[in-house]
Structure 1
Amino acid sequence: MTRTVHILAFEDDPHAAALRWALERMDVTVELSSGLAQWQKQDVAVEIGPGHIGLRGTSDVPVSVWNRRPQAPKSKPGLPEDQAFLAGEWRTFHENLVATAPQLLPSFWVNAPDAAWRAENKLLQLVAAREVGMSFPDTVMGTSAGAVRRLAQGGRVVFKAFRPHAWKEEGGLSAATTILDNDHLPDAQVIEFCPGIYQRYVEKTADIRVTVAGNRMLAVRLLGHSGSAYVDWRIHVLDKDFFAERITLPVALEQRIQALMASLGLVFGCLDFVVDANGDYQFLEVNQAGQFLFLEDMVPDIGVMRMVASFLAAGTRDYSVGQDPTLTMAAFRASEIYVALARRLHMDEASIA
């Protein structure tokens, strides 16, 4: 029986391309759609009645659907006076699809669209982490200068935006993670102008990245060769001083991670932790559509590509990882598919972040 995996992502998403290459080498058929409203690159119709429900044209249900980074639909061109109505109808139709996707297509969803949407909520993540007993830094979200100043009285704080953003007009200036201390906080008017995330700064010894795929997880410690941790490791991955190694997490933490994932309704995610001076793990966030293939650039034998490909091919939380040693990022980069992709995307670096 032919197994099929459907990927929801734009055509040249590097992670989608890499996993498609790996899955096809595992004799798994891969289909790709940009989003729920463009299923198999065709107009979508939901057919529902007392005895049936489904997406028209989906006679063969895929073993799994990887909800990688789907694109929201765009309304079709119309009269200017109709554009607001058309945009609203397309948006609402898409919301209907997101809310019912697992019923319309009873595959194994990675992740279910409604759970994926909810898990982007940073406050919801911290509430869930608190409920499962995870430690995390004291946090203030919002626009209250008084609350931020009270947080800063206990030491330095870290400012983070709710969403990543870069200003093209300012030559690539981005909303980066910033350390603030009590003597150099922004003016009250600045804090009150825009909501932000403020967390008590942790004197960390390392960052930890955990990739969870069903009942399996891979953890990596990230820091400099000098032994010092970075404020934001993401901007240092190409530094000569950057160091990464695979680690085994404490069993109690692994159990809390799985409890957090279950609470959020997720079966896949990339979680970030820091290790404080006492050796305790402090939770920062989970990205339900996070990047993971870069781990093989830092730890070549970690096997994250094989793990995720096996997970998608199995279509279940409990699965075995394939043993094909050629399913690696190094082999993918040597393929003609990668060469063509890199040319189209003008990628200069070898890694796929």
Structure 2
Amino acid sequence: MSQGPVLVVTNLDDPTADLVIRELHDRDVPVVRLDSGDFPYALSVAATITTDGVGGTLSTPSRTADLASVRSLYYRRPSGFSYPHLAEDDRRFAVAQARFGLGGIIASLPGCRYVNHPHRIADAEYKPSGLAAAAAAGFRLPATRITSDPESAREFIKTHGPAIYKPLAAPLYRVDGVACTVEVGEVTVEDIDERVAGTVHLFQQRVDKVGDARVTVIGDQVFPVRIDCDLLDWRTDYDRLTYSVPDLPPGTGPALAAYLTHFGLVFGAFDFAIDREGRWWFLECNPSGQWAWLEPETGLPMLAAMADLLERTTDDH
């Protein structure tokens, strides 16, 4: 096992990464933190590819990582490449070279444990793929319709209502300069008009829930947390949440493992709705989801588990 650094790839404002880096420092594990979006202004690469694999260096103003000795890579939430000084065509060219060049190097480190591999994260972020994998793993799913046809959407809501709408991805919006996202919300037949034909939408039967669960899997460890509130989407107001540690329903552990294996992940943040009969309904799995705020609320040793995984004190896989 390499005794080299842990590479943490994320943006500057990432409190979860801050906690993990502090824990690794306390263990005397070397860490190199970088944001791929800093390339090429505050990040440079000099790599070679031989029969031994990828070698060379990644350098920031304060750290240099030997690519051949990186023990693990924690891929969190890096910002995008940006070349604001270039004309549009030149900018597209430069961004493509950075994405496939630097991105390809980061994704090809020999002997490195990825948490998670950026290509596997990209695969798992497609919601239809995640729902199909969840069904194959044995999870219970709400009735779901993915469509750009207004009549298909109306028919689904009539058959399976009450229904909710979810975005298939969550790009950042700015309204009057304020960052916001499209929230999960209830939808009725009357809400559907021809604008639905403009893109693809995800509609789902609303679970008559009494609670939610966030189940965080870190390597071989599973951390279930029940979240109670009166909100449709608990992420809209954290101050109204209460937490407890539940038992997993029978069969959930193997299903979690099957899902992660399908996508080649070693970490996942799973969300479930819990109905009045105590049944858990799969909603989604975020391969880069948040988890650190749950430890002080529950006492679950999640930070230590993540540091163990990155330090590679656990069995290699």
Aligned length: 306
Contact 1:139–1:198 (Cα < 8 Å) also in 2: yes
Q: Which one has a larger percent strand, Structure 1 or Structure 2?
A: 2
Q: Summarize the alignment of residues 94-109 of structure 1 with structure 2, pairs less than 5 Å apart.
A: 94-98=99-103, 101-109=106-114
Cross-structure match for 1:279: 278
- TM-score normalized by the length of structure 2: 0.86
Measure, in 1, the Cα distance between the counterparts of 2:292 and 2:205: 30
Unaligned runs of 5+ in 2: 58-65
- 1:217 counterpart letter in structure 2: V
Aligned 8 A contact 1:10 1:33 in 2: yes
Would you say the 8 A contact 1:67–1:113 is kept in 2? yes
TM-superposed deviation, 1:126: 0.8
State the shift of 1:179 in Å.
1.0
Please name the residue that 2:269 is paired with: 270
- The residue identity in structure 2 corresponding to 1:47 is T
Q: Structure 1 residues 286, 245: CA separation in 2 closer, same or farther (over 3 Å shift)?
A: same
Residue of structure 2 equivalent to 1:27: 28
1:75 pairs, out of 76, 83, 86, with 83
- Give the corresponding residue for 1:305: 303
Q: What displacement does 1:161 show?
A: 1.4
256-265 vs 273-282, greater mean Cα deviation? 273-282
117, 122, 134: which one aligns with 1:117:
122
> Counterparts of 1:260 and 1:46 in 2: how far apart (Å)?
34
Secondary structure of the residue that 1:103 maps to in structure 2?
A: coil
Is 1:54 matched up with 2:60? Answer: no
Give 3-state SS (helix, strand or coil) of 2:186's partner: strand
The TM-score with structure 1 as length reference comes to: 0.78
Return the letter of the residue paired with 1:168: V
Q: How far is 1:138 from its partner?
A: 1.3
2:13 matches 1:16: no
What does 1:159-308 align with in structure 2 at a 5 Å threshold? 159-164=165-170, 165-169=172-176, 174-182=181-189, 185-224=190-229, 229-239=230-240, 242-299=241-298, 301-308=299-306
Contact 1:129 1:260 in 2 (8 A): yes
Secondary structure of the structure 2 residue equivalent to 1:45: strand
Amino acid of the structure 1 residue aligned with 2:53: I
Q: Unaligned 5+ residue runs, structure 1?
A: 320-353
Shift of 1:274: 0.8
1:194 to 1:102, Cα distance in 2 relative to 1, 3 A:
closer
Q: Deviations over 1:99-125 (max 9, x none)?
A: 564433431011111111111111110
CA RMSD, 1 decimal: 2.7
- Counterpart CA distance in 2 for 1:105 and 1:42 is 21
Identical amino acids, percent of aligned pairs? 23
Identify the range of structure 1 (207-216 vs 169-178) with the bigger mean alpha-carbon deviation. 169-178
Partner Cα separation in structure 2 for residue 73 and residue 29 of structure 1: 26
